[in-house]
């Protein structure tokens, strides 16, 4: 019992071990990888938009900060980023994440994000979709065209385009 103050784990690689608990998932096909809670971190990361092809997307200086929380391997990133100006951007848009995504068997480390993109030059804002791919430290924004995703979201970003995002993924 800690009556007053903080519980400090003084050695890297240690944490709160839940392996003595009973009643793991029990679902078919579940394999427990770890029951050690070994990390907590809350912070910010400077967001940016990088087109995968050519050109550039400059940020509105008042809207460049994303917040994140990391509990164990689970990272959640949230925030609003706004475009300040563009210079002929081409390709998909990448946004940096604070940690690389984990690399698991059969792409089980892939994730998607809830995004809302407004103020684009053309197309339907509902067609903007995103992904975080295994071993990658970026969130990628694509523009959906009919039945496929296309790497041309940067093409419709203009000054004032806003990207609201909330993304949870497993970190390496």
Rounded to an integer, the average pLDDT of 14-35 is 70
Summarize pLDDT for 96-109 with one digit per residue, the tens: 999 999 999 889 99
Q: Is residue 92 scored above 70 in pLDDT?
A: yes
Rounded to an integer, the average pLDDT of 32-52 is 89
If one counts every other C-beta atom within 10 angstroms of the C-beta of residue 77, the result is 25
Summarize pLDDT for 72-85 with one digit per residue, the tens: 999 999 999 999 99
Q: Is residue 6 scored above 90 in pLDDT?
A: no
Rounded to an integer, the average pLDDT of 56-68 is 97
Separation between Cα atoms, residue 149 and residue 96, nearest integer Å:
20
Task: Please give the residue that has the higher pLDDT: either 142 or 5.
Answer: 142
Using alpha carbons, select from 92, 99, 85 the residue that is nearest to residue 50. 92
Q: Is residue 159 scored above 80 in pLDDT?
A: yes
Separation between Cα atoms, residue 151 and residue 22, nearest integer Å:
46
Separation between Cα atoms, residue 114 and residue 124, nearest integer Å:
16
Using alpha carbons, select from 159, 115, 166, 122 the residue that is nearest to residue 141. 115
- For 144, list phi and psi in degrees, rounded to 5: -80, 135
Task: Please give the residue that has the higher pLDDT: either 129 or 11.
Answer: 129
Split at pLDDT 50, 70, 90, the class of 3 is confident
pTM score, whole prediction = 0.87
Which range has the worst mean pLDDT, 17-21, 27-31, 76-80, 155-159? 27-31
- For 100, list phi and psi in degrees, rounded to 5: -70, 150
């Amino acid at each position: 019992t800690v009556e007053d103050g903080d519980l400090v784990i003084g050695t890297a690689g240690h944490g709160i071990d839940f392996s003595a608990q009973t009643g793991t998932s029990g679902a078919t096909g579940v394999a427990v990888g770890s029951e050690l809670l070994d990390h907590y971190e809350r912070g910010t990361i400077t967001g940016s938009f990088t087109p995968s092809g050519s050109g550039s997307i400059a940020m509105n200086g008042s809207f460049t900060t994303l917040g994140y929380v990391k509990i164990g391997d689970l990272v959640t990133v949230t925030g609003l980023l706004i475009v300040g100006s563009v210079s002929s951007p081409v390709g998909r848009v990448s946004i940096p994440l604070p940690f690389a995504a984990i690399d698991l068997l059969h792409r089980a480390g892939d994730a998607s994000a809830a995004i809302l993109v407004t103020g684009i030059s053309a197309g339907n804002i509902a067609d903007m979709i995103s992904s975080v791919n295994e071993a990658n430290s970026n969130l990628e924004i694509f523009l959906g065209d009919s039945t496929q995703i296309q790497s041309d979201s940067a093409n419709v970003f203009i000054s004032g385009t806003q990207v609201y995002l909330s993304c949870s993924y497993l970190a390496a």
